[in-house]
Amino acid sequence: MNGQPILTLDKISKSFGPVQVIDEVTVSVHPGKVQVLLGENGAGKSTLIKMMAGVYQPDGGRILLDGKPVKFRDTNASEAAGIATIHQELNLVPTMSVAENIMMGRFPKRFGMVDRAALRKQARAALDLIGLDIDPDQPVGELGIARQQLVEIAKALSLDARMLILDEPTAALTRREIAALFSVVHDLRERGVGMVFISHHLDEIAEVGDSVSVLRDGKFVAEVPADTPEPELVRLMVGRDISQQFPRRREYTGPSEPLLHVEGLSIKGLVNNMSFTVHAGEVVGLAGLVGAGRTEVVRAVAGVDPYDSGSVTIRGRRIPRHNIGAGIKAGLGHVPEDRKVQGLVLDASVNENIGYATLASTAKAGLVDFKGQREKAQDVAGKLRIRMSGLDQTVRSLSGGNQQKAVFGRWIAAGAKVLLLDEPTRGVDVGAKVEIYELINSVTAAGGAVLMVSSELPEVLGMSDRILVMSGGHLSGELAAEDATQDKVMTLAVRDVVRDLEDKS
Amino acid sequence: MTTAVKAEKRQHMDIKKFLANNGALVGLLVLCLALFIATPDFLTAGNMLNIGIQASTIAVLAFGMTFVIVAAGIDLSVGSVAALSAMVSASMFTTAGLNGWVALLGGLLTGAAAGAASGMATAYGRLPSFIATLAMLSVARGLTLVISDGRPVRTADQVSFLGGNLGPIPMPIVVLVVAGLVASFLLNRTVIGRYMYAVGGNTEAARLSGIPVQKVLVIVFALSGLFAGLAGMLLSGRLDSAQPQAAVGYELDAIAAVVIGGASLAGGVGRISGTLVGALVLVVIRNGLNLLNVSSFWQQVVIGLVIALAVGIDVLRRKNTIH
């Protein structure tokens, strides 16, 4: 590549205790280029960028800044060298203004007081760097996540950053917001800023990247151009061909009894008269746009939120409204939308997280059956192939896919027959996705029923036997797997939106 | 590497790990050693029993507080609730003329009821526990003054026995040990105890796993109240009378003991053994400074610094063992 790189990690290694997380990896970031880091969760991407940012110090190898060896003692040192990281969790104070956030820690002062005019002017200049037209006096919390991210980028640039690390910047953005972000990335590239880009969406790589470094299990696998075909990227990343992205198998041969029946479910202003049935051995996909009411239906069925009218019947038993425990007793398991906030006690062990739903039912006289719980957790963790150092490892330190498997494991351990899955593969890498699909297969093969909410249409189409499409809070249509297409689903999904627009005009 | 060397290394690691996980215990031992060297009055049977008696009230309050802090709450009312329990018990015996056993039981149940009330305000009324128990702090103290009209009331013999001696051993120490074992058993062995850790670690995840979070919270605060009631029995039993201004400010000692013992105010972390060590650290410092004739004004300064130091060390330790 042309010119000298801004930063080079040269044969760098890092271990935590006995675990070698990064093993002699070499990556360079060039001015005006976007270097993509690709790898499954746990491949070492985060550790690598944390070494670039000075959070971790390498055990072996060298870091070269403009060709000269350096040591980043802490994040201040790397920032001083012009390296800024835009994290997934943004470092902004929501209640303070855009200008105050951009100038945080270096407010212009006049007679010992904050010089408001200068503050606004300097912030404006920073926003202009990326052509972001927002009011500097607006509180950051009032902006959408996409704009907050851009504010953070503006802040980094105003600190003279010449290298940006973008850690999954597109994970929480809509299509349009992603396009806006990418145009900023293109501008920055023109201006010679070097960038590191991490994403789980392979289709973004060709669009935004120049070169791709692929990591697997902490080792460098290959560096390929960004326009490398997706299947080849997957092969490099996973280390094998994934012949089938959605390996749906229908192996259940028993009677197709209705396990979950929902009748006339309504929540004022959110869900309107939803009725549907999920049978033994069946995967029913619940599709629709964000805000169509899919998660609300799942949460109401699981007893997490109350509903206004209707009924939920599981395996012939009518479940009282807003009662999570009753659903679980009847054989329900709920894998919620956000595993970190709703699914897991992050600082508790894998063992404990798998056991929460069965702690009471296996107890004798109020005493925990530690031995039985542990054996069951071991068994489930083995079946689900949760990669961990042991059952006592805290869930926080597992990769996303393995965390998600731990949430599944709780319901497998509880012997759940009806699984409600809300975005089951969000933030999970390709390899672990397939493992989760296989898990769904084995649940239905054993006569279980699955209701799956997903915003990824290919996943809904690939894994469902039937697809229910929601629009504006009610069921707008049902499609059988064999004649469902993305177009048909989308037509149903926007039906009410279109109707609303027609009503208004 | 030979197996012997490996084994030795592993042992070395275990010791290091033990020390890292029991910083408060190490601190307590160092403190005792220093006092042993500084004054001959420290390590005497009489002084040790004295420390035990002094620690009993704080430790019993702090055991109850451990449940609350593990469940990510806080209970500011334990001092007032201890005073109210003692006063109700003493009044049942002296004013109402009830049986001494009934009076003892009544005192304990008063504590549990006051705690349950705070718990319900937190669980069902959605008040932050800080606010709910701040209210209870005032209500319980007020009721204590109302019942007693501001005057001390004589306790039942059964309550006074808890403040007395069993042969050579002071009863408060016996109560301390039994209460500690019960609390530890509840927290570690029972379903409700494990639920406390889950609720404190992540309330929403606990709820979605089918854990009855609201019931758990009511039980947690009721237990804290029950232990406060027991502490009230110890305090009043020692003086043979319930004092309307007893245990003012004790909630801060209890919280300090739990936090020095390694619990996190963010919830999900905490052990009864740690809390006991925390309570002993507070009492040994006070005792030692008394023996060394340090003024009680300075003692408060020292205690404050020790709390900051203990938690500061803990924060550093956690930061260094992220992985």
Asked which of A204, A238, A272 is the last residue of a domain, the reply is: A238
Of B197, B205, B210, the CB nearest to A343: B205
- Other Cβ atoms less than 10 A from the Cβ of A446: the count is 14
**Start-to-end C-alpha separation, chain A:** 55
Q: Supply B192's token pair.
A: 């409700």
Judged by CB atoms closer than 8 Å, whether chains meet at A344 and B205 is answered as yes
Helix (H, G, I), strand (E, B) or coil at A493: helix
A1 located within any domain? no
Q: How far is B108 from chain A (nearest CA, A)?
A: 22
Calculate Rg over the CA atoms of chain A. 25
The domains of chain B, with CATH numbers, are 29-320 (1.10.3470)
The predicted pLDDT at position A1 comes to 46
List chain A residues with CB under 8 Å of B211: 356, 359
Q: How far is A325 from chain B (nearest CA, A)?
A: 5
Chain Cα centroid distance, residue B19 = 23
**Paired strand residues for A265:** A274
Q: What is the pLDDT along chain A (505 residues), one digit of tens a residue?
A: 457 999 999 999 998 777 788 999 999 999 999 999 998 777 888 889 999 999 999 999 999 999 999 999 988 899 899 999 998 778 889 899 999 999 988 888 888 888 999 999 999 999 988 888 899 999 999 988 888 988 999 998 888 899 999 988 887 777 788 888 999 999 999 999 999 999 878 888 999 999 999 998 889 999 999 999 988 888 888 776 665 778 888 889 899 999 999 999 999 989 999 999 999 999 999 998 878 899 999 999 999 999 999 999 999 999 999 999 999 999 999 999 999 999 999 999 999 999 999 999 999 999 999 999 999 999 999 999 998 989 999 999 888 889 999 999 999 999 999 999 999 998 787 778 888 999 999 999 999 999 999 988 888 999 999 999 999 898 999 999 888 988 899 889 877 665 555 554 4
* Same domain (yes/no): A115, A263: no
A392 located within any domain? yes
* Same domain (yes/no): A435, A464: yes
With tokens 């002084």, the residue in question is B47
Calculate Rg over the CA atoms of chain B. 21
Instruction: Read off φ and ψ for residue A418, nearest 5 degrees.
Output: -125, 115
Condensed to tens digits (0 to 9), the pLDDT of residues B8-29 reads: 666 666 777 777 677 788 889 9
Q: How far is B117 from chain A (nearest CA, A)?
A: 23
By C-alpha distance, which of B297, B302, B270, B272 is closest to B285?
B302
Which region holds residue A33: left if phi is over 0, alpha if psi is between -120 and 50, else beta? beta
Q: Which helix (H) or strand (E) holds A232?
A: helix A230-238
Question: How far is B82 from B253, CA to CA, in rounded Å?
Answer: 13
List chain B residues with CB under 8 Å of A359: 191, 194-195, 211
Helix (H, G, I), strand (E, B) or coil at A464: coil
* Same domain (yes/no): A499, A352: yes
Q: Supply A307's token pair.
A: 């509903």
Question: How far is A216 from B13, CA to CA, in rounded Å?
Answer: 31
List chain B residues with CB under 8 Å of A366: 190-192
Is the dihedral angle over the CA atoms B226, B232, B235, B237 positive or is it negative? negative
Between β-strands A194-198 and A163-167, what pairing exists: parallel, antiparallel or unpaired?
Answer: parallel
Question: How far is A81 from A6, CA to CA, in rounded Å?
Answer: 10
- Other Cβ atoms less than 10 A from the Cβ of A341: the count is 13
Q: Which amino acid is at A148?
A: Q
* Same domain (yes/no): A43, A95: yes
With tokens 């109707």, the residue in question is A499
By C-alpha distance, which of B253, B259, B252 is closest to B310?
B259
Q: Give every strand in the sheet of A211-216, ordered side by side.
A: A68-70, A60-65, A7-16, A19-29, A219-225, A211-216, A34-38, A194-198, A163-167, A83-86
Judged by CB atoms closer than 8 Å, whether chains meet at B204 and A342 is answered as yes
List chain A residues with CB under 8 Å of B212: 325
Q: How far is A304 from chain B (nearest CA, A)?
A: 7
Count of structural domains within chain A:
2
B221: contact with A, CB 8 A cutoff: no
* Same domain (yes/no): A443, A324: yes
Asked which of A238, A266, A281 is the last residue of a domain, the reply is: A238
Q: Which of residues 174-203 of B touch A (CB under 8 A)?
A: 189-195, 197-198, 201-202
B204: contact with A, CB 8 A cutoff: yes
A244 located within any domain? no
Q: Which amino acid is at A47?
A: T
Judged by CB atoms closer than 8 Å, whether chains meet at A328 and B205 is answered as no
- Residue A332, domain CATH: 3.40.50.300
**Start-to-end C-alpha separation, chain B:** 26
Buried b (16+ CB within 10 A) or exposed e, A147-175: bbbbbbbbbbbbeebbbbbbbbbbeebee
Q: How far is A342 from chain B (nearest CA, A)?
A: 4
A253 located within any domain? no
Contact predicate A22/A218, CB 8 Å: yes
More confident residue, B2 or A207: A207
Q: Supply B208's token pair.
A: 């979605």
A458 located within any domain? yes
Which residues 6+ apart lie within 8 Å of A28 measured at CB? A1, A5, A7, A8, A9, A35
Q: Supply B314's token pair.
A: 């803990």
A284 located within any domain? yes
Contact predicate B92/B98, CB 8 Å: yes
* Same domain (yes/no): A169, A283: no
Which residues 6+ apart lie within 8 Å of A140 measured at CB? A92, A93, A94, A95, A96, A97, A98, A101, A148, A151
A87 located within any domain? yes
Judged by CB atoms closer than 8 Å, whether chains meet at A366 and B323 is answered as no
Buried b (16+ CB within 10 A) or exposed e, A256-290: eeebbbbeebbbeebbbebebbbbbbbbbbbbbbe
* Same domain (yes/no): A293, A378: yes
Q: Give every strand in the sheet of A418-422, ordered side by side.
A: A332-335, A418-422, A449-453, A283-288, A466-471, A474-480
Where do the DSSP E strands lie in A17-142? Answer: 19-29, 34-38, 60-65, 68-70, 83-86, 109-110, 113-114
Is the dihedral angle over the CA atoms B201, B207, B208, B210 positive or is it negative? positive
Q: HEC string of B72-108?
A: CCCCCCHHHHHHHHHHHHHHHHHCCCCCHHHHHHHHH
Q: Which amino acid is at A50?
A: K
- How many beta-carbon pairs below 8 A join chains A and B? 71
What is the percentage of chain B residues whose pLDDT exceeds 90? 82
Q: Supply B144's token pair.
A: 């204590």
* Same domain (yes/no): A283, A380: yes
Angstrom CA distances, A180 to A146, A177, A187, A214, stand at 9, 5, 11, 26
Question: How far is B31 from A167, CA to CA, in rounded Å?
Answer: 48
> Which residues of A lie closer than 8 Å to B, measured between beta carbons?
16-17, 302, 304, 324-325, 327-328, 334, 336, 341-348, 352, 356-357, 359-360, 363, 366-368, 397, 410
Condensed to tens digits (0 to 9), the pLDDT of residues B123-172 reads: 999 999 999 999 999 999 999 999 999 999 999 999 999 999 988 999 99
Contact predicate A43/A221, CB 8 Å: no
Chain Cα centroid distance, residue A113 = 43
Contact predicate A247/A415, CB 8 Å: no
Predicted-complex ipTM score: 0.86
Contact predicate A192/A162, CB 8 Å: yes
List chain A residues with CB under 8 Å of B195: 359
Structural domain containing residue A80: 7-238
* Same domain (yes/no): A195, A289: no
Question: How far is A298 from A453, CA to CA, in rounded Å?
Answer: 8
Judged by CB atoms closer than 8 Å, whether chains meet at B191 and A345 is answered as no
* Same domain (yes/no): A134, A230: yes
The predicted pLDDT at position B1 comes to 46
Asked which of A209, A238, A267 is the last residue of a domain, the reply is: A238
List chain A residues with CB under 8 Å of B265: none
Q: Supply A459's token pair.
A: 């996943």
Q: How far is A341 from chain B (nearest CA, A)?
A: 7
* Same domain (yes/no): A219, A321: no
Q: Give every strand in the sheet of A309-314, ordered side by side.
A: A271-279, A258-267, A309-314, A317-318
- Other Cβ atoms less than 10 A from the Cβ of A106: the count is 11
* Same domain (yes/no): A264, A169: no
Contact predicate B243/B290, CB 8 Å: no
**Residue B183 pLDDT > 90:** yes
A246 located within any domain? no
Angstrom CA distances, A156 to A80, A104, B323, stand at 11, 11, 28
